[in-house]
Amino acid sequence: MNLPDAESFHEFWSIKPLVSRLTSASLHFDKYRWMSGLSHDQMMSDFIGPICERSTNIVDLSIGPPEYESGEEENCAPIFYLLSRLPLVALLFEPLVPLRLPIPRYVGTYHLLRKLEVATCWLEVGDIQSLAIAFPNLEYLAVQIGLYPEDFQQIKSILYHLNESFYGS
């Protein structure tokens, strides 16, 4: 579904017989009609909240949210809000504007998620370990990681520690 504006989303998502039994949804917002960005609070309360409240059975969600303004630490808030309230197995999160997606160190563990695609977002090397801890059962991952030559030693160390914790000594 390609949604032109907030009003159309709210009208559509308020039709309980239509959205209450969904197990899969694809929501994308028309970037040419969304010329002004939303605040972080608007994004969470006007879009992410209603999806979680009215469609509690969604396991496969593809969402291309409109541009929203947030601090870097809030960029991943919609993802973790969705994951903490829906039994998601697959999530495609593709904001209209590319974002850095820092993964908080102690964000929790989401065992159900098997497929995570955040192709318009990027991580830094330091987020890899948090990503592996938060999503231990991933079978598919699509994400951009910003690498610099000096990051390779850090990557080796992260991979070593992840292998040790996963496979043991």
Longest dimension (CA), the chain: 56
Query: Worst-scoring range by mean pLDDT, 71-85, 105-119, 144-158?
Result: 144-158
Global pTM reads 0.81
Phi, psi angle pair for 153, to nearest 5°: -65, -40
What burial letters (b/e) apply to 59-78, b meaning 16+ CB within 10 Å?
A: bbbbbbbbbbebeeebbbbb
What's the pLDDT score for residue 126? 78
At residue 115, the pLDDT reads: 98
Residues 6+ apart with CB under 8 A from 129: 158, 161, 162
> pLDDT band for position 31 (50/70/90)?
low
The CATH number of domain 2-167 is 1.10.287: no
Domain ranges of the chain: 2-167
More confidently predicted of 89 and 169: 89
3 state DSSP class of 142? strand
Per-residue model confidence as pLDDT tens digits over 58-97: 999 998 876 666 666 667 888 889 999 999 999 998 877 7
Distance CA 127, CA 117 (A): 15
Cα 111 to Cα 148: distance, rounded to the nearest angstrom: 31
d(CA 75, CA 163): 28
Mean residue pLDDT across the chain: 82
Q: What percent of the chain is modeled with pLDDT above 90?
A: 33
Report the percentage of the chain scoring pLDDT > 70: 84
